[in-house]
Amino acid sequence: MKSTYLLVILVVVICFSSCISTKQLTYLQEPENGVDSIIPIRKMQEPYRLQINDLLSIRVKALDQETVGIFNPIGDSNLNATGEEKLYNDGFVVDPHGNIRIPSLGEIQVLGYTVEEVRQELEKRLLADYFKEEANIFVTVKIAGIRYTINGEIGGPGSNIIYRDQVSIMEAIANSGDITLVGDRKNVVIIRQYPLGQKVHHIDLTQIDAMNSPYYFIQPNDLILINPLPQKSLGFGTTGISSFTTILTIITGLTSVILLFIALK
């Protein structure tokens, strides 16, 4: 009789230990006594500084259309290309030396610059060598979309690109099909590129404070890794019912084997 009770207790303990709780699945949780309020926002996000392999979209406009054509891509060169292919063909890649090559202007050092600083430098050079103040030149410099790679316990792993100036990690995850039931939301890993190499960062997406993390907004070429929860390796199930069903199946099988063994004796 005691062994029966012990077996029941063991089954209950395993069921509860192998279940995934609501707290492990819920994003951006507030304190239990939280009320409707404005979330304090940390100081404004530092502007992104360009890294090697970044792709820039640069456009020049002015009253002198003939001179402007030297700097802008020819519109008929990629009629059959998709938007991303056009950016790849017409954009300006930051090379391993931190430079971009622009027609007539040659190589320009941009590594560690913001897009605003690049715009100002281009306008300065264009006014010095090609245009007069009366030309009303207008230069636009943008990062050609934010490309990131996401792998692990995610609905749609792979590389994606979002054509926005700013993208949060929540948007990146939603764009990739959301984290699976057995994905670890409390320890999302971000591998980020810096001038001197790569750094590994961690963010807990189950807490509301994640919105104030310096890693809440992704950067171009980020690698996001969603590791599995321990429950996945246990193999019992992700909910109490599935765990109980699995364990009951195992016990039933073992009981059948024992009874068959006894009958054969």
* CA atoms of 258 and 264, how far apart (whole Å): 10
Neighbours of 94 (CB within 10 A): 19
**What's this model's pTM, rounded to 2 decimal places?**
0.75
Neighbours of 118 (CB within 10 A): 21
Q: Residues 181-237: pLDDT tens digits?
A: 999 999 999 999 888 889 999 999 999 989 999 999 999 999 999 999 987 665 555
In this prediction, residue 29 carries a pLDDT of: 87
Q: Give Cβ neighbours of residue 202 (< 8 Å, ≥ 6 apart).
A: 187, 188, 189, 190, 215
State yes or no: pLDDT of 136 exceeds 80: yes
Three-state secondary-structure class, residue 2:
helix
Give the closest residue to 172 by CA, choosing from 206, 216, 115, 227.
216
Tell the burial category of 33 from Cβ atoms under 10 Å away from its Cβ (0-12, 13-18, 19+). exposed
Sign, CA torsion 78/80/86/88: negative
H or E element at residue 159: strand 158-162
In this prediction, residue 66 carries a pLDDT of: 75
In this prediction, residue 150 carries a pLDDT of: 97
Residues 103-131: what's their mean pLDDT?
92
Q: Give Cβ neighbours of residue 167 (< 8 Å, ≥ 6 apart).
A: 146, 148, 217, 218
In this prediction, residue 210 carries a pLDDT of: 92
* CA atoms of 228 and 185, how far apart (whole Å): 9
Give the closest residue to 141 by CA, choosing from 172, 174, 117, 161.
117
More confident residue, 2 or 132: 132
Residues 143-165: what's their mean pLDDT?
93
H or E element at residue 85: helix 83-90
Sheet with strand 92-93: strands edge to edge: 92-93, 55-61, 138-143
Q: Residues 1-51: pLDDT tens digits?
A: 455 544 545 555 555 455 677 788 888 888 776 566 666 655 557 889 999
More confident residue, 47 or 109: 109
Domains of the chain are 55-143 (3.30.1950.10), 145-231 (3.10.560.10)
Q: Residues 49-93: pLDDT tens digits?
A: 999 999 999 999 888 777 787 777 665 455 455 567 777 788 899
In this prediction, residue 91 carries a pLDDT of: 87
